[in-house]
Chain A
Amino acid sequence: MVEELITSGRLTPEVDPILHIWGWEIPLYLFLGGFAAGILFFSALFTLQNKENRYPMAVKILPFAVPVLLAIGLGALFLDLSHKFYFWQLYTNIRWESPMSWGAWTLLLVTPLSIVWAASWLEEAFPKFDLRYNWLKEILSDLKPYRKHMAWALIILAVILGMYTGILLSAFNARPFWNSAIMGPLFLTSGLSTAAASVTLLTRNHEERSDFTKIDLLLIAIELFFIIHMFMGFLASTQVHVQAAELFLGGRFTVPFWVWVVGIGLTIPAILEILELRKHHVPIFVSAVLVIAGSVMLRFIVVEAGQASRWLY
């Protein structure tokens, strides 16, 4: 057997022996960004389909969470920067090849638009809330005729935001586990699924709950399909990609990923949702909470595993 022993005199903090430049901030942000994108997508989609009264939670109420989610996510991103007070450089440059730049500009558009979008629903979502100032009420009612335009913009931006959270990672050729084109669609689907699950968790409308349970079930199926294809892709690729997949097929991420993400975060909630749709008595919050927890775990494990996978030479 030919053996290879590599001894390196380098011991750079956060780089050696295993890359660890990104801690909790980036996966948390990827989760919140995907979640926000999912909420905006459904809200905008069902507004365009004139289903705002059929799906009041998804269309009118949940968008109020988006600016909060994005603010927390942006806060986490800011905390991650090591040269913080130069962050404004993101907005003096446009770099088409850099997913990080795409993300920064998308967030600059999505965040204010999500505030305007939620505000346009204020009257319908919270009828008892008194705005006090008439001029503010006038501005809000002036927004309503532009809802369809905003919805179109939001659908496109939500897809870009949801996809980019995965593409940010998949663009790194140097980290074989991230370097899969499936990462973008997988994170988008996971974000949509998180949003759908949170609708089923919070709505009191029976029809909305049942429809979003079906939507979530479909999204979970798509996610499982993507995960299987991602591993098929790795195993059919180069040695470093095979090694990256092996981190999950016997390596140190095997249990966290297959038990926590695929088992508890996808398969069990899918079974519970099927039982619920068949009118069995299942506590509704269990499947929703599991989907959301699985989505968080997916981000943390993928960010961690990507950093642990590398080229060797």
Chain B
Amino acid sequence: MRYAMAIDTKRCVGCSDCVVACQTENKVPIGFCRDWIVETTTGTYPQLQMEIRSERCNHCTDAPCVRACPTKASHYGAGGIVTVDHEECIGCKACIASCPYDARYVHPEGYVDKCTFCIHRVEQGEHPACVAVCPTHAMTFGDMDDPMSDIFKLVSRRKWKTLIPEAGTRPNIYYLI
């Protein structure tokens, strides 16, 4: 089983509902975020292209944060999800330095925190909070190892990219383009 997310950049309007839903669901402290919106504009005026992405931890298959962690606090959980055990985290911040996506932060309580793919909801058969609230249905969550899953079919059918694949992290968030 390999949990992954596909995010459709053609559907995303950058409303930030996913950000708010995540902050509410996971009680993310004010000023911090586990997911965020990035807007990029490329090209030469007037031929400009815009892309909007909802970004978060990529739950990399080859996660540098798991390698950097000296205590096994950052580890692979069920379905390949990268999670942080708060009781094992010493706050050395090596994982923050190791993440090319800057997806982690130091929680005011001292431990390092980040997106969990809302595993507590997934275990109950629900979608992650961000996926559940997305008004344009831009996000699909599921098991990439299951050829019958919606995400597998979507990623097979559409053109996609991952972020900084050259960093060698094998990310599990697919951006449909």
Q: Residues on A close to B: CB < 8 A? A: 1-16, 19, 21-22, 80-84, 86-87, 89-90, 92-93, 95, 97-101, 104, 171-175, 238, 306-307, 310-311, 313
A219 to chain B, nearest CB (A): 28
* Smallest Cβ-Cβ distance to B35: which chain A residue: A10
Cross-interface CB contact of B97 among A7, A22, A87, cutoff 8 Å:
A22
Given contacts A21-B96, A86-B89, A89-B90, contact A9 B71 (CB under 8 A): no
* Contact, CB under 8 Å: B41 / A4: yes
| CA distance in complex: A66, B28 (Å) | 43
**A2-B42, A8-B38, A81-B92 are known contacts. Are A21 and B97 too (CB-CB below 8 A)?**
yes
Most chain A beta-carbon neighbours within 10 Å: one of B68, B86, B89, B98: B68
A99 / chain B contacts, CB cutoff of 8 Å: 68, 94
A-B contacts at CB below 8 angstroms, number: 157
Taking a contact as CB atoms under 8 Å apart, the answer to whether B110 and A313 are in contact is: no
The 5 nearest A-B residue pairs measured at CB = A82-B91, A83-B91, A10-B36, A83-B110, A101-B70
Partner of A82, one of B33, B87, B93, B167: B93
Interface residues of B (CB under 8 A from A): 16, 19, 31-33, 36-44, 55, 64, 67-73, 86-94, 96-100, 102, 104-106, 109-112, 163-164, 166-168
Q: Of B36, B38, B67, B71, which is in contact with the most chain A CB atoms at under 10 Å from its CB?
A: B71
Q: How far is the CB of A177 from chain B (nearest CB, A)?
A: 12
Query: If A15-B105, A100-B92 touch, does A1 touch B67 (CB 8 Å cutoff)?
Result: no
- The reply to whether A9 and B92 contact each other, CB–CB distance below 8 Å, is no
Q: Which residues of A contact B110 (CB under 8 A)?
A: 82-84
Given A81-B90, A82-B93, A100-B94: A8 touches B36 (CB 8 Å cut-off): yes
- CA–CA, A310 and B173, complex, Å: 20
B138 CB, nearest partner CB in chain A, Å? 15
